[in-house]
């Protein structure tokens, strides 16, 4: 294990991290569209775990990269101010684990040096890496970015031209980045398909890995969360994306009544059924590219993932 020092977040260097507040020690690092939001909620139900009030603060992402990729979050103090970041666990100082779940933490090389920054701030941290069948995950990632007006290309062109989707589904690439700074025993892999089909069993294994007492979840606590809708949207006017990402809209969204905000969203976008889009070319390309990367990942974790085999 090689922990790199001197890679701390600039905010940590500026403050010296001397505020005396407990630091986070548990990170759900993605992958995007692999059930990390649901896992965040499930873990937060445990009495010895306090998850951050802002699910994805992205504090350890380079600020310039964050401003380019997610300007809305980059304006939030918790993304770059150490005190504001630690305030996400206010009231949970006595919890054994304080966790957060920023999926940008497993998008190397597009979000660079994240593991090194975490190692400098929280060298004894533990990580949960949620993964999903790689092709389906990449398709879901595309649709998320498309509805947020971050992806202008058609689906097959985007898969070929934008390596973000392929690299994020290259789980061996992402896992190796963390193993350069943390021992493999500090990283626990959860397969999204297993979590969906065997929720209690998967969570029980996760809690045991964390060294926590068993916890009996209620049915309400284990309810489905954050299911992607069958529809997506495109902007009706070319300036909609600029308005959405602006500071002016951030202020307006907080001050205007919810009904007005929803009306403005409705009149500025066009909804459509994603099933109307032919994904076959994109899926075929991704399958060819990602199949050997899946094998490399399975070798790294020492087990096959049958849930990802073709039906």
Q: Which CATH superfamily is domain 10-228+278-308 in?
A: P-loop containing nucleotide triphosphate hydrolases (3.40.50.300)
- The contacts of residue 259 (CB under 8 Å, 6+ apart) are none
Are 107 and 61 spatial neighbours (Cβ–Cβ below 8 Å)? no
Residue by residue, pLDDT tens for the chain (311 residues) are 333 334 556 656 544 454 678 999 999 999 999 999 999 999 999 999 999 999 999 999 999 999 999 999 999 999 999 999 999 999 999 999 999 999 999 999 999 999 999 999 999 999 999 999 999 999 999 999 999 999 999 999 999 999 999 999 999 999 999 999 999 999 999 999 999 999 999 999 999 999 999 999 999 999 988 788 999 999 888 878 888 888 887 788 888 898 998 888 889 999 999 999 999 999 999 999 999 999 999 999 999 999 999 87
Q: Which tokens go with 28?
A: 């759900």
Q: Can you tell me the distance from the alpha carbon of 296 to that of 175, in angstroms, rounded to the nearest whole number?
A: 11
Q: Which tokens go with 3?
A: 């922990």
Are 294 and 173 spatial neighbours (Cβ–Cβ below 8 Å)? no
Distances (CA, A) of 296 to 159, 186, 282, 290, 301: 20, 20, 22, 10, 9
Specify burial of residue 38 (Cβ count, 10 A radius: 0-12, 13-18, 19+).
buried
Which residues sit opposite 273 in a β-bridge?
Answer: 231
pLDDT at position 4 is: 36
pLDDT at position 253 is: 80
pLDDT at position 13 is: 59
Provide the CB-side half-sphere exposure for 256 (13 A, CA): 14
Could you read off the pLDDT of 22-43 as tens digits, one per residue?
Answer: 999 999 999 999 999 999 999 9
pLDDT at position 124 is: 97
Which residues sit opposite 187 in a β-bridge?
Answer: 127
Q: Can you tell me the distance from the alpha carbon of 172 to that of 179, in angstroms, rounded to the nearest whole number?
A: 10
Q: Can you tell me the distance from the alpha carbon of 83 to that of 77, in angstroms, rounded to the nearest whole number?
A: 9
Could you read off the pLDDT of 150-176 as tens digits, one per residue?
Answer: 999 999 999 999 999 999 999 999 999
- The contacts of residue 248 (CB under 8 Å, 6+ apart) are none
Provide the CB-side half-sphere exposure for 176 (13 A, CA): 14
Q: What is the 3-state secondary structure (H, E, C) of the chain?
A: CCCCCCCCCHHHHHHCCCCCCCCCCEEECCCCCCCHHHHHHHHHCCCCEEECCCCCCCCCCCHHHHHHHCHHHHCCHHHCCHHHHHHHHCCCCCCCEEEECCHHHHCCCCCCCHHHHHHHHCCCCEEEEEECCHHHHHHHHHHHHHHCCCCCCCHHHHHHHCHHHHHHCCHHHHHHHHHCCCCHHHEEEEEHHHHHHCHHHHHHHHHHHCCCCCCCCCCCCCCCCCCCCCEEEEECCCCHHHHHCCHHHHHHHHHCCHHHHHHHHHHHEEEEEHHHCCCHHHHHHHHHHHHHHHHHHHHHHCCCCHHHCCC
Which residues sit opposite 271 in a β-bridge?
Answer: 233
């Amino acid at each position: 294990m090689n922990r790199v020092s001197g890679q701390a977040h600039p905010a940590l260097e500026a403050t010296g991290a001397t505020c005396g507040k407990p630091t986070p020690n548990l990170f759900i690092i993605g992958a995007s569209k692999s059930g990390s939001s649901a896992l965040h909620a499930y873990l937060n139900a445990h009495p010895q775990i306090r998850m951050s009030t802002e699910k994805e603060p992205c504090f350890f992402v380079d600020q310039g990269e964050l401003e380019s990729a997610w300007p809305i979050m980059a304006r939030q103090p918790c993304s770059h101010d150490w005190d504001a970041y630690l305030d996400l666990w206010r009231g949970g100082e006595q919890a054994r684990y304080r966790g957060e779940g920023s999926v940008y933490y497993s998008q190397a090389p597009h979000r660079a040096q994240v593991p090194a920054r975490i190692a400098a701030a929280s060298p004894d941290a533990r990580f949960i890496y949620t993964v999903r069948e790689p092709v389906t995950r990449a398709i879901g990632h595309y649709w998320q970015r498309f509805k947020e007006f971050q992806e202008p290309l058609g689906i097959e062109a985007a898969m070929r031209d934008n390596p973000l989707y392929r690299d994020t589904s290259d789980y061996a690439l992402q896992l190796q980045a963390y193993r350069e700074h943390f021992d493999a025993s500090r990283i626990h892999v959860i397969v999204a398909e297993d979590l969906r089909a065997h929720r209690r069993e998967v969570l029980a294994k996760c809690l045991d890995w964390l060294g926590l007492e068993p916890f009996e979840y209620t049915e309400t606590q284990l309810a489905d969360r954050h299911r992607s809708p069958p529809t997506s949207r495109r902007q009706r006017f070319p300036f909609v994306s600029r308005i959405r990402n602006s500071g002016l809209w951030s202020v307006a969204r907080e001050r205007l009544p919810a009904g007005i905000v929803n009306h403005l969203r409705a009149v500025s976008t066009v909804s459509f059924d994603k099933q109307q889009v032919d994904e076959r070319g994109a899926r075929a390309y991704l399958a060819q590219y990602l199949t050997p990367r899946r094998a490399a990942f399975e070798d790294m974790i020492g087990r096959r993932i049958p849930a990802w085999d073709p039906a």
